[in-house]
Structure 1
Amino acid sequence: MKNTAQYQSVDDPRNNADVQAWEEENRAFHRIILSPSNMPRLLRAIDDLHVVSARFLFSGWRAEWEAPTDRDHRAILNALRSGNVDIATAVLSRHVQWMGQKSSSGSAANSGNRS
């Protein structure tokens, strides 16, 4: 891995007590791991999905909102920061499969633990 410094700029979303700050860090996470692909159409599609996801998130927001744990995001960032692409890839693959299963089961309202 050539430059792990780019991954240092993303904060742990758990550090954000409010829903808007968490959503911004979540979006930054996805953007930073996808940007090196140099695939503009993919990046636009992901941006569009984040807009829809944010609308859903904000529509259900409550004053007692708590940041999701984002275990997979932390593991992916830690692996990228240490230059371990194999671990980052394995965790990302598991995360995508888990999110796909979750989406197909229709449990989008229960999105707190891994997104």
Structure 2
Amino acid sequence: MARAEDGGERLGAAELAYRAIRKRIFSGHYAENERVTEAEFAESLAMSRTPVREAVKRLILEGLLTREAGPGLRVVGLGADEIEQIFAMRLLLESYAARRAAGFASAGERAQLADLALQMQAHVPPRNDADYEAITEANRAFHQLILTAARSPRLEAMLSLVVNLGLVSLTFKSYDEAAIRRSAAHHKEIAEAILAGDADWAGAAMQTHLHAATAAARRNFGS
């Protein structure tokens, strides 16, 4: 097992490769639509191909890389229309998921949603990359838990094709302090609505959250 640089957490090689490549994509080390290969990643990270291959699979699922013909990969660049589509579909599907979660979530899931919302607030305003990482991970877990609590495998499968985790993370990093505080407050309200079992409130709170996220993505990445 390899040791990560931050916090001394022990991580596997595939996780380290995933984090390193993702960080390079987010930092602009690789340009949008730049062509890369697993061999280039392995060489630059001084790692074997096996963990890099596993990392690449995750990054493809997250929408950060796409497979080209042969051994090639390409760093994904999202156009304005694609960003609009992603958030429009999230608005419809995740609002419905929140409504269902209000009715079907277990007591444990409701408590976990509240805890994740508190975790996000604990890192607001973010001061460093570790704070952004913590917020992004809590956000991912929060939205995934709502999908799980919705008890709809069909809905979960549909959203897995829509959500672009790279876009979500980049949107967070584009927020000013007021926007990121507002986002954390949205998550707290969504959790409270689901805890109360109020489907109308949960759906409306999720819509408000995603409308704000759409505006931020449009403003920063849609031009």
| TM-score between the two structures when normalised by the length of structure 1 | 0.66
Q: Is the 8 A contact 1:34 1:43 kept in 2?
A: no
Q: Say which structure is richer in strand.
A: 2
- Post-superposition Cα deviations, 1:51-98, rounded to whole Å, max 9, x if no partner, equal 3433x369x69xxx9xx3211111001110121222111111222223
Q: In structure 2, do the counterparts of structure 1 residues 103 and 53 end up closer, same or farther at CA, with 3 Å as the change threshold? A: closer
Is 2:157 the counterpart of 1:50? no
**Which residue, 188, 191, 213 being the options, matches 1:77?**
191
Query: Larger radius of gyration, structure 1 or 2?
Result: 2
Q: In structure 2, do the counterparts of structure 1 residues 101 and 78 end up closer, same or farther at CA, with 3 Å as the change threshold? A: same
**Which residue, 189, 192, 215 being the options, matches 1:101?**
215
Q: Taking every aligned residue pair, what percent have the same amino acid on both sides?
A: 21
**Which residue, 7, 15, 20 being the options, matches 2:133?**
20
Task: Tell me the residue number matched to 2:143.
Answer: 30
Q: In structure 2, do the counterparts of structure 1 residues 23 and 14 end up closer, same or farther at CA, with 3 Å as the change threshold? A: same
Task: Tell me the residue number matched to 1:113.
Answer: none
Q: Is the 8 A contact 1:72 1:91 kept in 2?
A: yes
Say how many residue pairs are matched: 99
Task: Tell me the residue number matched to 2:158.
Answer: 41
Q: Is the 8 A contact 1:4 1:83 kept in 2?
A: no
Q: In structure 2, do the counterparts of structure 1 residues 89 and 53 end up closer, same or farther at CA, with 3 Å as the change threshold? A: closer
Q: In structure 2, do the counterparts of structure 1 residues 57 and 4 end up closer, same or farther at CA, with 3 Å as the change threshold? A: same
Q: Is the 8 A contact 2:186 2:206 kept in 1?
A: yes
| TM-score between the two structures when normalised by the length of structure 2 | 0.38
Structure 2 CA distance for aligned equivalents of residues 96 and 27 of structure 1 = 14
Instruction: Flag structure 1 segments of 5+ consecutive residues without an equivalent.
Output: 109-115
- Post-superposition Cα deviations, 1:18-44, rounded to whole Å, max 9, x if no partner, equal 221111101111111223242213124
> Secondary structure of 1:45's partner?
coil
Structure 1 CA distance for aligned equivalents of residues 147 and 166 of structure 2 = 16
Taking CA–CA contacts closer than 8 Å with sequence separation of 6 or more, which of the two structures ends up with the larger relative contact order?
Answer: 1
The equivalences for 1:49-68 within 5 A come to 49-54=164-169, 56=170, 68=180
**Which residue, 185, 191, 201 being the options, matches 1:87?**
201
